[in-house]
Amino acid sequence: MGGARGSGRGGRRPMRGVMSHRPTISGHNGRNIRRGPPRNPACTSRHVRAHRGVRTEKGADEVSHSAGQDGYSVGQVAGFAGVTVRTLHHYDDIGLLAPSERSHAGHRRYSEADLDRLQQILFYRELGFPLDEVAALLDDPAADPRAHLRRQHELLTARIEKLQKMAAAVEHAMEARKMGINLTPEERFEVFGDKDPEQYAEEAEQRWGGTEAYAESQRRAATYTKEDWKRIQAEVDDWGRRYADVVAAGEQPTGEAAMDLAEEHRQHISRYFFEVPYEMHRCFGEMYVSDERFKAFYDAMRPGLAEHLRDAIEANASRHTS
């Protein structure tokens, strides 16, 4: 992500949490009761470095100390915010963050208001805004701090949702490659959607990887086209609707309707992926209840369907093997 960058080679370091080390300790009433670097000996090395000081542009160590009426030094602020001194100097040079005060020696001193503005700058930079847009946003007289926070929250939420979708797309692409599906990334995402039609084979790999059954599933899957996968998914959806109706009607797992659907379930896997003996199907049934992923998948069709299916699979296996 695009962090704030200063001039020259001293760009902003990756953020470890925006202003996460700002020296504020809150009392029981929510008011700040002390300012300055933490005194706890268990502080992180980053805190220690900030307390000892950082190199200034002149090459000298600028000693950090508690900010009183004179505000915070540039070294302290750099340590708190996870940015370089050069970056803060650049923000000052372009008028984005000019420190409120100067010491008698001419050193920059930052106030609480300056720290608030820096926090807003870093939020927007983390979201990818260029510096000129950040300046325009912060200098807008119609906006207040709460409006900025609300906007940043909305943008971050949208970013999180987008990244989650990207992660899901990558996972689908990985699964498709593993199963030998010869589709474009767009087709893989379209085909799989929110449900994974290869869930049976995926679990088979975990439990029976290296077996002939799993090798057979890969051989078959490698030959399927996009239309094949759509047809398979349509069959799964149709089966799910019919099984949900059985549960809704109060049919018992040992009833003919439920056992017939359990047999259809076994044959579906055998037809498209690998041969499923009844004993293996029993294992699947137990897995559909014990594995949260599968339980959620089946219960989404109808609450309680996962356990109902497990019992129907057991009853169906018994009637065919007894």
The band of 214, judged by pLDDT with boundaries at 50, 70 and 90, is low
- Round the average pLDDT of the chain to a whole number and report it: 73
Three state DSSP letters for the chain: CCCCCCCCCCCCCCCCCCCCCCCEEECCCCCEEEECCCCCCCCCHHHHHHHHCEECCCCCEECCCCCCCCCEEHHHHHHHHCCCHHHHHHHHHCCCCCCCEECCCCCEEECHHHHHHHHHHHHHHHCCCCHHHHHHHHCCCCCCHHHHHHHHHHHHHHHHHHHHHHHHHHHHHHHHHHCCCCCCHHHHHHHHCCCCCCHHHHHHHHHHCCCHHHHHHHHHHCCCCHHHHHHHHHHHHHHHHHHHHHHHCCCCCCCHHHHHHHHHHHHHHHHHCCCCCHHHHHHHHHHHHHCHHHHHHHHCCCCCHHHHHHHHHHHHHHHHHC
For the stretch 189-206, pLDDT in tens is: 444 444 444 454 455 555
pLDDT at 225 over 50: yes
pLDDT at 56 over 70: no
Mean pLDDT is lowest, of 81-85, 101-105, 140-144, for 140-144
The band of 18, judged by pLDDT with boundaries at 50, 70 and 90, is very low
Q: Say what the pLDDT of residue 91 is.
A: 93
**Assigned fold of 192-321:** Globin-like (1.10.490)
Q: Say what the pLDDT of residue 5 is.
A: 37
Mean pLDDT is lowest, of 127-131, 200-204, 302-306, for 200-204
0.75 cut: is pTM over it?
no
The band of 141, judged by pLDDT with boundaries at 50, 70 and 90, is confident
Q: Stretch 141-166: mean pLDDT, rounded? A: 78
Which has more confidence, 189 or 156? 156
The band of 229, judged by pLDDT with boundaries at 50, 70 and 90, is confident
pLDDT at 61 over 80: no
The band of 69, judged by pLDDT with boundaries at 50, 70 and 90, is low
Sequence ranges of the domains in the chain: 24-139, 192-321
Q: CA–CA separation, 34 vs 112, rounded Å?
A: 13
Q: CA–CA separation, 124 vs 42, rounded Å?
A: 32
Which has more confidence, 196 or 70? 70
For the stretch 107-124, pLDDT in tens is: 899 998 899 899 889 888
For the stretch 87-106, pLDDT in tens is: 999 999 999 999 999 988 88
24-139: CATH architecture: Orthogonal Bundle (1.10)
